[in-house]
Amino acid sequence: MNLTTNYLGLKLKGPLMPGASPLVDNIDNIKRLEDAGASAIVMHSLFAEQIEGNKVAFDQHIDRWQDNFAEATSFFPSTDGFAFGPEEYLGQIAKIKAKTELPVIASLNGTNTGSWIEHAKLIEQAGASALELNTYFLGTSRRLPATALENRVVEITREVRKAINIPIAVKLSPFYTSVAHLAGRLEDEKVQGVVLFNRFFQPEINTEELDVTPKLDLSTSEDLRLRLRWLGLLRDQVSLSLAASGGVHTPVDIVKALLAGADVVQIVAELLTKGPARLGELLTGLKEWMEKHEYESVEQMIGALSLRSCPDPEAYERGNYLRTLQLWKV
């Protein structure tokens, strides 16, 4: 059985890898993930705010959004709270490379072009095999049109592309009006892949304390379905590598992501709750499914159920929408 897959031009021994999270801050965990069959390590993000300094980043946010909250300084954690500072991050890349055989995909997280992009060069020099770029920000202002938000993602990507030669994957949000168009623009900027998708932590209202707090709920397999839709829609419209991220908890989830069109599958919540060895169980489950369904390779599976054979995806989506709502029986 052949589990190899190609992601961002890297030939990987299998499709499973931990996604960006604190799980991979620790070398013991990374070694356990390698033993369990992970094919690469996606590092926890290094944030632009860490590189440029909280103060500068904070001032930029204030200017840009004309935010009047004096207490906004408290929105940013102090740099002491992060596992690695910018220098240590480079050291961690070298350490992972020295202690494992795995390709290292570093992760940079920033919302505007700026001096932090220079750090991508250092990440490349430190030996990262690829870079995942996370440009998470929420368009909160009524003065900010959708095109300006997308242009910002493209501009950041362009600057990072200019700075480095290693492959780049952009981790996208599902909340763009036209995900496929944006993915196409990123392909034009010569990135090698996209990660579908970022997962957002929505605010919660505490009705006793009358307070609004960010709340981190880990994903469930339900979260995967949004990813499946877009993996299937993008697979044959772009030549980019596609990574599934969000809602993968079981071997069947992995099978679905691959059939929809993912080249690799990133896993976080399931590994955070069950530990690195869980990746091995998931891989065994995938192999069992492949044997039962007579698939000899992961490559055969990738995109087998994409929307390739669908002449009109828009009509297909609309038709399914109508059918689902109209055929519901009370």
Binding site for ligand FMN (CB under 6 A): 19-22, 44-45, 107, 109, 134, 171, 198-199, 218-219, 223, 245-248, 267-269
| CB nearer to ligand FMN: pick between 247 and 303 | 247
| CB nearer to ligand FMN: pick between 21 and 241 | 21
Q: 217, 271 in Cβ contact below 8 A?
A: no
User: 261 — alpha (psi -120 to 50), left (phi > 0) or beta?
Assistant: left
| CB nearer to ligand FMN: pick between 110 and 247 | 247
For 91, phi then psi, to 5°, come to -60, -35
| CB nearer to ligand FMN: pick between 204 and 296 | 204
Q: Say which DSSP state 85 is in.
A: -
List the one residue out of 88, 103, 71 whose CA is nearest residue 6: 103
Least distance (Å) between residue 219 CB and ligand FMN: 3
Instruction: Pinpoint the alpha helices (H) of the chain.
Output: 27-36, 48-52, 54-65, 86-99, 119-125, 146-163, 179-188, 224-234, 251-260, 269-274, 278-292, 298-301, 313-326
| CB nearer to ligand FMN: pick between 21 and 100 | 21
First-to-last alpha carbon distance for the chain, in angstroms, is 46
Least distance (Å) between residue 317 CB and ligand FMN: 23
Least distance (Å) between residue 309 CB and ligand FMN: 29
Task: Name the residue type at position 311.
Answer: P
Least distance (Å) between residue 319 CB and ligand FMN: 29
Least distance (Å) between residue 262 CB and ligand FMN: 13
